[in-house]
Structure 1
Amino acid sequence: MTHTLFNPFKDLNFDEHFCFLSGALTNENMTVFPVWLMDHFKLGNERIEMMDKTKSYNYSDLKLPCSSEVKTAFEELDVKVEAAYKKGFEGMASLDQELLFQWTGRMVYGMLYYEMLYERDRLLRQGEDFEISVTLRKRFGYFHLMLQSLIEPISFVGKKPWSIAVFPLKYSADIFSYRNDAVNLMFSFGVNEFGFIACLQDNGVIGEKQKEILDKMEGHVLHPIQFEELYARFHYSDYILQYKPEYKIENQDNGIAIEVETAGKQPHFGFWDEDIYAQLLSNYWQVYGIEKEDILKFQMPPLSFLENPYTKDFINPESIDLPF
Structure 2
Amino acid sequence: MPASVYSPFDRLNFSKRNCFLTGVALNSEEESIQVFPQWLMSKYNLEDEPFKMLDESMATYKDLKLPCSAVVNETYIEPVEAEMETAFNSGYEAVKQLDELKLFQWAGKVLYGIIFNELRAGIQQQRQQGEDFNISESIIHKFSNLHLMLQSLNLNIEFEDFKPFSLLLFKVNNAEETFGYRDEINTLTFSLRINDFGLIICFQDNGANKSYHRDILAKVEAQCLHPIQFEELNARIFYSAYLFNRLPEYTTMVVGDEIYIEAMPLRSMTGKPLFDHWQNKTYGQVLESFWKNWGFLLLEIIKDPENPISFLLDTEGNFKPADTISLPL
Distance (Å, rounded) in 2 between the aligned partners of 1:255 and 1:105: 21
Q: 2:126 aligns with which of 123, 126, 129?
A: 123
Distance (Å, rounded) in 1 between the aligned partners of 2:245 and 2:188: 15
Amino acid at match of 1:318: D
- Per-residue CA deviation, residues 274-295 of structure 1 (Å, 9 max, x unaligned), is 1111011011112111000111
Q: 2:312 aligns with which of 306, 309, 314?
A: 306
Q: How does 1:49-64 map to 2 (within 5 A)?
A: 49-53=52-56, 55-64=57-66
Distance (Å, rounded) in 2 between the aligned partners of 1:161 and 1:146: 9
Distance (Å, rounded) in 1 between the aligned partners of 2:138 and 2:326: 45
In the TM superposition, structure 1's runs of 4+ consecutive aligned residues that sit over 3 Å from their partners are none
Tell me the secondary structure at the aligned position of residue 283 of structure 2. helix
1:323 maps to 328
Q: How far apart are 1:260 and its partner, in Å?
A: 1.4
Distance (Å, rounded) in 1 between the aligned partners of 2:304 and 2:280: 12
Confirm or deny: 8 A CA contact 2:88 2:195 kept in the other structure.
no
Q: How far apart are 1:235 and its partner, in Å?
A: 0.7
Closer/same/farther in 2, CA of residues 155 and 271 from structure 1, 3 Å limit? same
Q: TM-score, normalised by structure 2?
A: 0.94
Closer/same/farther in 2, CA of residues 205 and 123 from structure 1, 3 Å limit? same
Amino acid at match of 1:313: N
Closer/same/farther in 2, CA of residues 136 and 300 from structure 1, 3 Å limit? closer
Amino acid at match of 1:319: T
Distance (Å, rounded) in 1 between the aligned partners of 2:305 and 2:127: 52
Tell me the secondary structure at the aligned position of residue 95 of structure 1. coil
Tell me the secondary structure at the aligned position of residue 256 of structure 1. strand
Confirm or deny: 8 A CA contact 2:280 2:306 kept in the other structure.
no
Distance (Å, rounded) in 1 between the aligned partners of 2:265 and 2:117: 33
Distance (Å, rounded) in 2 between the aligned partners of 1:40 and 1:86: 9
Q: How does 1:227-242 map to 2 (within 5 A)?
A: 227-242=230-245
Confirm or deny: 8 A CA contact 2:65 2:117 kept in the other structure.
no
Q: How far apart are 1:4 and its partner, in Å?
A: 4.4
Confirm or deny: 8 A CA contact 2:168 2:201 kept in the other structure.
yes
Distance (Å, rounded) in 1 between the aligned partners of 2:316 and 2:180: 30
Confirm or deny: 8 A CA contact 2:178 2:194 kept in the other structure.
yes
Confirm or deny: 8 A CA contact 1:232 1:281 kept in the other structure.
yes
Confirm or deny: 8 A CA contact 1:153 1:255 kept in the other structure.
yes
Q: How far apart are 1:264 and its partner, in Å?
A: 4.3
- Per-residue CA deviation, residues 32-73 of structure 1 (Å, 9 max, x unaligned), is 1111000100101111010232x1111112111111232111
- Stretches of structure 2 lacking an aligned partner (at least 5 in a row): none
2:77 maps to 74
Closer/same/farther in 2, CA of residues 84 and 299 from structure 1, 3 Å limit? closer
1:40 maps to 43
Amino acid at match of 2:325: I
Confirm or deny: 8 A CA contact 2:266 2:274 kept in the other structure.
no
Q: 2:250 aligns with which of 247, 254, 266?
A: 247
2:18 maps to 18
Amino acid at match of 2:324: S
Q: How far apart are 1:8 and its partner, in Å?
A: 1.1
- Stretches of structure 1 lacking an aligned partner (at least 5 in a row): none
**Which is worse superposed, 292-301 or 159-168?**
292-301
- Per-residue CA deviation, residues 227-282 of structure 1 (Å, 9 max, x unaligned), is 11101111110111111111121111241011211264276111101111101101
Tell me the secondary structure at the aligned position of residue 166 of structure 1. strand
Confirm or deny: 8 A CA contact 2:248 2:266 kept in the other structure.
no
Instruction: Tell me the C-alpha RMSD between the 2 structures.
Output: 1.6
Tell me the secondary structure at the aligned position of residue 301 of structure 1. coil
2:261 maps to 258
Tell me the secondary structure at the aligned position of residue 136 of structure 1. helix
2:293 maps to 287
Percent identity over the alignment?
Answer: 38
Q: How far apart are 1:218 and its partner, in Å?
A: 1.8
Aligned length: 321
Distance (Å, rounded) in 1 between the aligned partners of 2:227 and 2:267: 39
Confirm or deny: 8 A CA contact 2:165 2:204 kept in the other structure.
yes
